[in-house]
């Protein structure tokens, strides 16, 4: 752990190779008058809007929409099967069927899904109520970017199914609405913060703060419901292709990595913002995915107080999307995947934004957080679906 002390409170970092933009954002966080104890920067950190992705911020009395991010509740789910092998012919057929059943990228379902699949609306939810009808066509859809569906082989000898996805457009709308609302709030306290920091906040006890928290929590629940529906359909496809009556699945593991929650740390109740960071309480089971073509991990949290009981949410980008398309060589990235025998989603040059070369080395990331989590199962990719 490296410690930066140039701000009002320390910045504790689990990496050495942090980019300058992300470091500047971390120092900005450390100078917030309401930031508590220290800032924690995970080993997958890179620059985001206002706050590094891979950052953990605890605040006293305020909540910051940009410290949660626009894909509220984005996270991972995984299940272990009882099978130890699936041949490539079946894998290819499953990928084809997944692409037909689960809309990818900007695509939605043509018809609304059953309302019983949606979380209950409780209390005042201005944005959620406005977006509800649209969300009915988005539940059970993957989205784009770094979201994926993957079939993996664990070093425990079993086949695993994994999904990475979030709250789709409803999460973006909630984040955008409340960030704009926070920007409009003006007082002496707020005016002391440079607008360039992009860290506009709401008082957590105010009406706006409570409304954001309520709608944020709905989006977390929606993101989970979205993953659950996709996983249900994923399991059906897997069972149909691998001998219906012989396949069984372990209980679902689910964990989010874009949210804020009230927790107690160092004897004080605070709002912990995890933006691209995962809860890693002592004994808690989590998921840390790699990039396309690299390993993922089922982990157990060690409850390290210095990280606010958190860990990384993945490998973390080392190149921006446009930079990756510009700099990476398509044939080289394709060779890496095909050498491993992975059924991948790298079809054209523009797909290089999600190539393994655009991400940090997940093995280094995992080594850097050995004091945050312990690995339970190491998972190697067999087949990947991306937008």
- Return the structure tokens found at 168: 């789709």
The DSSP code for 303 is -
**Does 313 qualify as catalytic in the annotation?**
yes
Show Cβ contacts of residue 371 under 8 Å, excluding neighbours closer than 6 positions: 1, 302, 304
Rounded Cα gap, residues 106 and 312, in angstroms:
27
Rounded Cα gap, residues 138 and 109, in angstroms:
6
Nearest to 33 by CA among 213, 262, 187: 187
According to DSSP, the residues that pair with 264 across neighbouring strands are: 269
Catalytic residue among 108, 257, 273, 313: 313
According to DSSP, the residues that pair with 4 across neighbouring strands are: 11
Task: Enumerate the active-site residues.
Answer: 313
């Amino acid at each position: 752990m490296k410690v930066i002390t140039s701000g009002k409170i320390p910045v504790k970092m689990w990496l050495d190779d942090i980019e300058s933009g992300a470091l500047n954002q971390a120092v900005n966080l450390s100078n917030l008058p309401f930031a508590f104890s220290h800032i924690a920067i995970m080993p997958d950190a890179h620059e985001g809007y206002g706050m590094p992705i891979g950052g953990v911020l605890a605040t006293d009395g305020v909540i910051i929409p940009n410290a949660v991010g626009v894909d509220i509740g984005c996270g991972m789910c995984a299940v272990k099967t009882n099978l130890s092998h699936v041949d490539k012919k079946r894998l290819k057929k499953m990928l084809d069927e997944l692409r037909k059943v689960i809309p990818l990228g900007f695509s939605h379902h043509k018809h609304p899904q059953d309302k019983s699949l949606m979380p209950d609306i409780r209390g005042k939810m201005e944005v959620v109520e406005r977006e509800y009808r649209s969300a009915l066509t988005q539940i059970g859809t993957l989205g784009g970017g770094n979201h994926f569906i993957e079939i993996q082989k664990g070093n425990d000898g079993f086949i695993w199914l994994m999904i990475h996805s979030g709250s789709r457009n409803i999460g973006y709308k909630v984040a955008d609405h409340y960030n704009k609302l926070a920007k409009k709030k003006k007082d002496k306290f707020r005016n002391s913060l440079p607008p360039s920091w992009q860290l506009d906040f709401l008082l957590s006890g105010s009406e706006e703060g409570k409304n954001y928290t309520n709608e944020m929590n709905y989006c977390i629940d929606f993101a989970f419901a979205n993953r659950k529906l996709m996983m249900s359909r994923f399991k059906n496809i897997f069972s149909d292709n691998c001998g219906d009556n012989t396949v069984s699945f372990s209980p679902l593991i689910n964990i989010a990595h874009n949210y804020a929650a009230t927790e107690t740390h160092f004897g004080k109740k605070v709002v912990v913002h995890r933006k691209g960071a995962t809860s890693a309480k002592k004994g808690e089971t989590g998921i840390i995915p790699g990039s396309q073509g690299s390993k993922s991990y089922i982990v157990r949290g060690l409850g390290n107080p210095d990280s606010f009981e958190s860990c990384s949410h993945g490998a973390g980008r080392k190149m921006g999307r446009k930079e990756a398309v510009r700099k990476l060589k398509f044939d080289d990235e394709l060779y890496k995947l095909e050498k491993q025998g992975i059924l991948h989603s790298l079809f054209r040059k523009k797909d290089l934004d999600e190539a393994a070369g655009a991400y940090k080395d997940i093995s280094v990331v995992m080594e850097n957080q050995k004091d945050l989590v312990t690995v339970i199962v190491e998972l190697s990719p067999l087949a990947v679906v991306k937008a």
